[in-house]
Amino acid sequence: MKFSTSREELLKPIQLIIGAVERRQTMPILSNLLLRNVDGNLVITATDLELELSATLAITVEGDDITVPGRKFLDICKSLSEGSEISFSSSNEKAQVRAGKSRFSLATLAATDFPLVDALEVEESVLVAKEDLLRLMEQTSFAMAQQDVRYYLNGLLFETQAAVLRSVATDGHRLALSSVELASEGGERQVIVPRKAVGELMRILNAHNDSIDIALSGNYLLAQIGDVRFVTKLIDGKFPDYQRVVPQNHQYIAVVDREVAKASLLRASILSNEKYRGIRLSFSTNTLMIQAHNPEQEEAQDEIEIEYNGPDIEIGFNVSYLLDVLNILNTNDVHFHLQDSNNSLLIQAPNTDQAKFVVMPMRL
């Protein structure tokens, strides 16, 4: 294989797809990037067998496909001076990279051994604006489980229902839900995208401004984002009935200044139990008392003014879960929907049902 291009034209697409290359691989070929000659253009692909990312570059390329060590190739490109012209060539199981007076020789592996996803037949597709898809994931992905034995929680649920696209995540202690209206109606479907794929998709979306075409094919989700093709296996499992978890009949609403509440929670959390991170919220007329204590018998207490006219309610929470929600929201005020000391807390921005956050209470 042979091509020449600028450092910047090669570096950006490699940075976008390198996340699919795991640092520790049981198969050496998975540490490599596949460089392909597709209709005279260069296509670079990375995979970990679950996630496949490909970037197409409008670079004139000659010769046969080859694979090169992914992170070493990236580091070489990063190390070169801005504006450098890179010449790439391969022969006899070696790849040569030249730029100015710099020379690098990399070991290669045969392209025929690289495990590409077979051609997929699209069953359904959804066109969604980049800003909408990114918002859905940013408002919910923080609530995904990590390495839970309930494997279906280690990902993000995407659900289409009529002209609505919804994302939902839960780790069993909290739940985040966000939705957006689509331009056209589609069928009803639920898919669970793995945690790693969600992170990589968000990273790629942040680098593009195009609308995103999302398609489903069997147990795969595909997305075309500019010149990057994103393919991930889906988690095969049944997501819990999240609608049963979202409170529908909480009678009392506390209107809280988001920044004031964040600051108060952070102060109290200093002396919370380091393992369980528990704090106590005590709601009374127009007042919220926040308390924390730890096994060393240390205590913190903070009081803030709120708008609240319901009965006195005392309820415990993991402070990290509350802070995660307040960090995601960007409104001045937030609404805390309450029922009693035993029911979960529903947090929402005022005047919208697009995003809902549920935090389960904890015993203190």
Nearest CA-CA partner of 243 in 340, 346, 148: 346
Higher pLDDT, 218 or 192: 192
* Domain span holding position 349: 246-359
User: Does one domain contain both 236 and 129?
Assistant: yes
pLDDT digits (tens, 9 = 90+) for 150-181: 999 999 999 999 899 999 999 999 999 999 99
At residue 287 the predicted structure's pLDDT band, cuts being 50, 70 and 90, is very high
Higher pLDDT, 182 or 35: 35
Calculate what percentage of the chain has a pLDDT beyond 70: 100
**311 contacts 335 by C-beta, under 8 angstroms:** no
**Mean pLDDT over each residue of the chain, to the nearest integer:** 95
Of 45, 80, 113, which closes a domain? Answer: 113
Return contacts of 94-100, CB within 8 angstroms, 24+ apart.
95/1, 95/66, 95/68, 97/73, 99/7
Position 184 scores a pLDDT of 82
Of 224, 243, 262, which closes a domain? Answer: 243
CATH number for the domain that contains residue 224: 3.10.150.10
Q: Is residue 364 part of a domain?
A: no
**Rounded average pLDDT over 115-143:** 93
At residue 202 the predicted structure's pLDDT band, cuts being 50, 70 and 90, is very high
At residue 92 the predicted structure's pLDDT band, cuts being 50, 70 and 90, is confident
Q: Is the model's pLDDT at 185 over the cut of 90? A: no
Q: Is the model's pLDDT at 39 over the cut of 80? A: yes
Q: Is the model's pLDDT at 211 over the cut of 90? A: no
Position 65 scores a pLDDT of 96
Q: Is the model's pLDDT at 210 over the cut of 80? A: no
Q: What percent helix, strand, coil does the chain show, rounded to 5? A: 25, 40, 35
Angle between helices 319-328 and 258-269 (to 10 degrees): 150
| Number of domains present in the structure of the chain | 3
Position 22 scores a pLDDT of 85
User: Does one domain contain both 185 and 217?
Assistant: yes
Position 89 scores a pLDDT of 97
